[in-house]
Amino acid sequence: MSQYKIIFTGPVGAGKTTAIESISDIPPVKTDASASDMTKTKKSSTTVAMDYGIMNLTGGEKIHLYGTPGQERFDFMWDILTTGGIGLILLLDNTRADPFQDMKFFLDSFQKFIAETNVAIGVTQMDLSNKPTIDDYHIQLQGIGINPPVFSVDARVKNDVSLLVQSLLYSLDPEIEA
C-alpha cells in the first residue's frame, strides 16, 4: 500500500507536536528531549528528531503525519521527510522576535516541495501576541508571490488544525468533497 504523508514544519515552539497530537488517531510518537541550547529560552523540551502521528482512513489507508524538528541543525532531514508528501503545514509562533523572518526561512527551505504540492500556514499564540495580524502575513506573502491559506491556529484545538489541513487539501483540488 502507498505511503501518504503530510508534513508539519515551523520553528521551535510553534506547536507542531501539539498539532499532530490534535488530529492523530494514535498517541503520537514524540521524540522530545530536554532543551540544551537557545531552545531552552522557549520551552523546556523540544523535538530533536521528528514527531509522528497517523490518521486512519476508511478502507484501511493511513495518512502519516510527520513533524520536522525545529532546529536548523536538523535541516538535512527535511528533504528525506518531504519525499512523497501530499503537502506542507507551516506553523509560525506569533510571539517570536521576527515571525516573518521565520516564515521566509521555512518557505525558502521547502520551496521545491511547495512548488510541487502546496502549503497552508497556521499562526499560533495569537492570543498572547495579536500582532502581526493575519493581514500583515498576507502582505508579506504578496511580496514573495504566493497566496496560501493563513489562519490563526490554536494547535491544541482539533478544529483549528483540521481546518488548516482541509484548506491545504482544497488548495490542491477545490473539487474534492467531504
Q: Point out which residues bind another protein (CB under 8 A).
A: 4, 11-12, 23, 38-39, 41-42, 55-59, 61, 63, 71-72, 86, 96-98, 101-102, 104-105, 108-109, 126-131, 133-134, 138, 141, 147-154, 157-160, 162-167, 169-178
Nearest-angstrom CA–CA distance, 47 and 31:
5
Strands 62-67 and 51-56: antiparallel
- 4 vs 71, 77, 123, 124, 172, CA distance in Å? 25, 17, 25, 26, 15
Rounded to the nearest 5°, which phi and psi values hold at 4? -110, 140
Return the number of the residue (33 or 157) whose C-beta is nearest another protein. 157
Q: How far is the CB of 101 from another protein (least distance, A)?
A: 5
Report the residue number, 81 or 148, with the smaller CB distance to another protein. Answer: 148
Pair 106, 9: CB distance under 8 Å = yes
Give me the least distance between CB of 80 and another protein, in Å please.
Answer: 20
Query: By C-beta, is 31 or 71 nearer to another protein?
Result: 71
Pick the closer one to another protein by CB: 21 or 102: 102
CB 61 to another protein: min, Å: 7
* Whether the Cβ atoms of residue 168 and residue 89 lie closer than 8 Å to each other: yes
